[in-house]
Amino acid sequence: MAQKTSDSHETQGTQGTPLEQKLRDGTAIFGVVGLGYVGLPLAVEMAKAGHTTIGFEVSAQRAQEVNAGRSYIGDVASDELAQLVSEGRLRATRDFADAAYCDCIAICVPTPLSATKEPDVSYMVDAATALAPHVTPDTLVTLESTTYPGTTEEILLPILEANAQLRHGDNLFVAFSPERVDPGNPRFQTKNTPKVVGGTSPRCTELATLFYERFLDQVVPVSTARAAELSKLLENIFRCVNIALVNELAQLCERMDIDIWEVVDAAKTKPFGFMPFYPGPGLGGHCIPIDPFYLSWKAREYDFRTEFIELSGKVNENMPYYVVDRLMDALNTHAKALSGSRVLVLGVAYKADIDDMRESPAIKVITQVKAKGATVVFHDPFVSEYVQDGQRVASVPLSVDEVRAADAVLILTGHTEVDYAMVADNAALILDTRNVLKAVEGDHVIRL
Ligand SMILES: NC(=O)c1ccc[n+]([C@@H]2O[C@H](COP(=O)([O-])OP(=O)(O)OC[C@H]3O[C@@H](n4cnc5c(N)ncnc54)[C@H](O)[C@@H]3O)[C@@H](O)[C@H]2O)c1
């Protein structure tokens, strides 16, 4: 692969630069940093659109898997990946020097919270620092990792500008474009989910729009990177707050002896102005439990308290504890204590029909149930095992004997491919936090 040409634009103006021409004629080479839930599907779409695509990945194992055409991400089929790799359209590397080949690079690395709920942008800083010396003039770099408003300008841009060859707005173009992928969603994937794009200058927005239009169905430009950064946080705060609202109502409904699920189902028949959210055992995944706190942290710099975020965080964080209380109450009705009971947990992934356990509330629930003296076994068709406190815990097969052996079955994830009818027929007691047993009658089924 030839290194890209890096003409200066001082004599050319910025219109019709080589980068723009390559984006228009489809010859631009693309890079993706971080090949996870976000980055691998994105890289696949770029390559499918006909662009030579290089994935930069620190994990040697992941880079090897990609180059062997084996997908480790549910939304990416191995045969499709293998074909793109064999045709030379997609490859993965740990060598950031290959960034010199790329015209456009999207950074998709994790943005977690520290133990004290402060933004941890270290992955992004590491990725940008590794890239910066190899980025050649006339390159667009976009950040896709969810983060607080200002990150692209305040952190990413200065790291890239440390490369003396690069001049922002002249031969270096930087933008933020939030990723909205919803792993496992059968209707909306990377390609057909509209993509918001905000540059660090109007020209950066234009080029970033051209970039994403090469391989995605719809691009939505906004005026600044900060607006794009906040739009993503608004989406996730909206979910976090509404889930908290319904979780709080679920607790009130229990006291008032009203079925919260029936209430939500009734409310959602309103054809306008209402969107259903459902209660559950707590928030999970890499986004909703984390992203809102990126904003509350940044807001403090402006002497501003984001009270909706704090309150919804409090309600949602309490849900695993509430579930354990409900489990103890349920066992009590059978004259049993949680201590000494055997509990079969159904589902440990944070949501239905995926294998992702990041931030899963199941871990908090299981930890407490064990701490209170119960024996816990779990079944999850998507998670064969997980590691907790350094110990591997394996999923048990779901059998009549296993269900009958349990003093209580605790449904924490509503995976579709579970034989719930068999569970309902054989369990002594079930606490269903996902309403998967909606149609089952009987005192032995207790809903959240
Ligand atoms: N997973 C989702 O559903 C989702 C949805 C929307 C937005 N996001 C956001 O997208 C970002 C990425 O999330 P993800 O779920 O893809 O994470 P992930 O953990 O699945 O993938 C991140 C990848 O980046 C790699 N990586 C880490 N540091 C690196 C570095 N310095 N250089 C190269 N590779 C590096 C990791 O090895 C991993 O393969 C996060 O900011 C997240 O909040 C995620």
Question: Ligand 1 centroid to 38 CA: how many Å?
Answer: 6
Atom number in ligand 1 closest to CA 62: 39
**Calpha distance 223→145 (Å, rounded):** 19
To test the ligand 1 pocket, which listed residue (38, 66, 111) has its Cβ within 8 A of the most ligand atoms?
38
Question: Ligand 1 centroid to 34 CA: how many Å?
Answer: 6
User: Sheet containing 445-447: which strands, arranged edge to edge?
Assistant: 375-379, 342-346, 408-411, 430-432, 445-447
pLDDT over 70 for what percent of the chain? 96
Domains present along the chain, CATH in parentheses? 18-223 (3.40.50.720), 239-447 (3.40.50.720)
Beta-strand runs (E) in 337-374: 342-346
**Residues enclosing ligand 1, CB less than 6 A?**
33-39, 56-59, 62, 108-111, 123, 126-127, 130, 144-146, 179-181, 183, 286-287
Q: So what's the pLDDT on residue 10?
A: 40
Catalytic residue among 104, 108, 253, 287: 287
Q: Which residues contact 232 (CB under 8 A, 6 or more apart)?
A: 146, 178, 179, 180, 196, 291
**Residue 61 clears pLDDT 70, i.e. is over it:** yes
In tens, the pLDDT along 102-128 reads 999 999 999 999 988 899 999 999 999
Q: Which residues contact 211 (CB under 8 A, 6 or more apart)?
A: 23, 28, 30, 104, 140, 142
The model's pTM is 0.91
In tens, the pLDDT along 298-309 reads 999 999 999 999
**Cβ–Cβ under 8 Å, residues 252 and 279:** no
In tens, the pLDDT along 199-226 reads 999 999 999 999 999 999 999 999 999 9
Mean pLDDT across the chain, nearest whole number?
A: 95
Question: Ligand 1 centroid to 6 CA: how many Å?
Answer: 29
**Residue 5 clears pLDDT 90, i.e. is over it:** no
In tens, the pLDDT along 384-422 reads 999 988 899 999 999 999 999 999 999 999 999 999 999
